[in-house]
Amino acid sequence: MRITMIGSGYVGLVSGACFADFGHDVTCVDLNEQTISALKNGQIPIFEPGLEALVSENAKAGRLTFTTDLAPAVANAEVVFIGVGTPSRRGDGHADLSYVYAAAADIARAVTGFTVVVTKSTVPVGTGDEVERIIRETNPAADVVVVSNPEFLREGAAIEDFKKPDRIVIGLEDERARDVMSDVYRPLYLNQAPLMFTGRRTAELIKYAGNAFLAMKITFINEMADLCERTGANFQDVARGIGLDGRIGSKFLNAGPGYGGSCFPTDTLVLVKTGQDYDAPLRLVEATVEVNDRRKRAMGQKVIAAMGGNVRGKTIGILGLTFKPNTDDMRDAPSIAAVQALQDAGAKISAFDPEGIEMAKQVINNVDDADDAYGVADGADGLVLVTEWSAFRGLDLKRLHAAMNGNTFVDLGNVYRQKEAEAAGLSYTSIGRAIGADQTVGTIAAE
C-alpha cells in the first residue's frame, strides 16, 4: 500500500520504517529540513536499538523515502498517518494539539480520492472528531475517513513492539476504513496480531487509560518499597509475592526513582485534565502524578542522607541520566530533579550515560561528563546509579571504590547486592531495602 507518515520524530520514524519493512511504500514527511536532510543521509536523529539499520535497509530498497513536500506525498497516498508531537501545553498541562490540527488542514488541501487519515499521535478523547471537522471545513469535497490508531511503543524496544504487538487498536466511525486498516497490518497476521476494532473515542481513551494504569502500578510499588525500608520487610519478596497473583502480574514491580519519558508524565497529566473537563475527576491518577513528581526530587535527598546529610562542596558521580536504558530520551527523566536537588545542596556533579549525555546537557546545567563509569567514580565522594543500563550491571566495584575519594554508593536501580558492595569497601544504599539488610536482587521482570 502507499502510506504517508506526517511527522518523522520517534513515533513517525519507527512506524514508517516498520511499515516499509512490511513491504508497503512509505513516505515520511517532516517540515524540518535538517531532519529530512539527515535522514536522507542515513543519520538517525534519535537513538533506538535497530532503527538505523531498519531505516537504511528500507531506504536502499526504495520502500522508504523522506521529504519536506507534503502535498504530493499526501495526494499519492491511500493512507495518511499523523505522527506529530503532542507535548504538554504550557499553563494547563493539556496536550498541545496545534501540530495535529495543522497537519489535518494540510492534508485536507492536498488529498485526492478516497483516503484514510489516521491519528497515530497520542491525542485526547474527541481529537479525531476535530480532525474530521477541520478536514471537512478546509475541503468539503474531500473523500476522507478519519481513524484513531494509537501507538504502544516502548522506547528501547519500539521495533519489537511494532512487529510483535500485544494489540493493535483501531478506532473508526466509518466501516469503509476497516478493510483498509486490515490491509495495512496484514503482514502481522502470521503473528496472530490481535486487531481490536472499536469506536474512535474509545481508541483514543485506551491509550491514556493503559499508560495511566502502568504509571499507577509503578508509583504504588515505589511507595511499598519506601514502607519496606522503614519496616524491615523484604521488598523483593513483597514484589514477587504480589506479582505471582495472575490478576496483578510481575511486570512494572521494580522500585526505582520514579517514571519519566515522553509518555507516562504527559499522558497521566492529560488524562487528569480530561477528567476535569468532563466532570469525571480521576483521583487515583491525580495522586499518581503528585507522588511521582515528589519522588524524583526525593531521590536527591536520599543521596544526601546517605552521605551524612551534607554534600556541600562534595563531588557526586551519576551513572545513567536517561529516563530508562536503551534510549537517549531525557524528557522528564528522574535524574533531572535528583541532580538539581543535589546541586541546590551545594554538590558538584559528574556523570556518564552511554547515549544520553548530549541530550542531558540541554536540560541539566553544570555537569561534567566522563568517558565511562570509572571516569565518573574518579575523585567522587559519592556515586549514584540512576539508570540501569546494561553497561552498569557488571561493574568492578573494587575498582570503583579505589577511584573514589569517598565510599558512598547509592543504587537507585537495585542492581547490586549489599554484601558484594560492602565487600568492595562501599557504603551501600538502595531502594526498598532496610539499612543493614542483605536482600538479593529479585527476578521480577521490568519494562
Taking only the tens of pLDDT, the chain with its 447 residues reads 999 999 999 999 999 999 999 999 999 999 999 999 999 999 999 999 999 999 999 999 999 999 999 999 999 999 999 999 998 887 777 889 999 999 999 999 999 999 999 999 999 999 999 999 999 999 999 999 999 999 999 999 999 999 999 999 999 999 999 999 999 999 988 766 689 999 999 999 999 999 999 999 999 999 999 999 999 998 999 999 999 999 999 999 999 999 999 899 999 999 999 999 999 999 999 999 999 999 999 999 999 999 999 999 999 999 999 999 999 999 999 999 999 999 999 999 999 999 999 999 999 999 999 999 999 999 999 999 999 999 999 999 999 999 999 999 999 999 999 999 999 999 999 999 765 555 444 433 333
Catalytic residue among 18, 28, 228, 263: 263
117 contacts 131 by C-beta, under 8 angstroms: yes
Residue 28 annotated to the active site: no
DSSP bridge pairs for 171:
148, 198
> Do residues 376 and 317 touch, judged by C-beta distance below 8 A?
yes
Q: Indicate the residue type of 157.
A: A
Q: What is the C-alpha separation between 150 and 164, in angstroms, rounded?
A: 15
Domains and CATH numbers, the chain: 2-198 (3.40.50.720), 209-430 (3.40.50.720)
CA–CA distance, 35 with 46 (Å, rounded to integer): 10
Write the single-letter amino acid at 318: I
Distances (CA, A) of 13 to 157, 216, 386: 14, 29, 28
Reading across the β-sheet that carries 115-119, which strands appear in turn?
A: 64-67, 25-29, 2-6, 79-82, 115-119, 144-148, 168-171, 195-198
Beta bridge partners of 317: 350, 383
Quote the pLDDT of residue 444: 37
What pLDDT score was predicted for residue 91?
73
3-class DSSP assignment, residue 352: strand
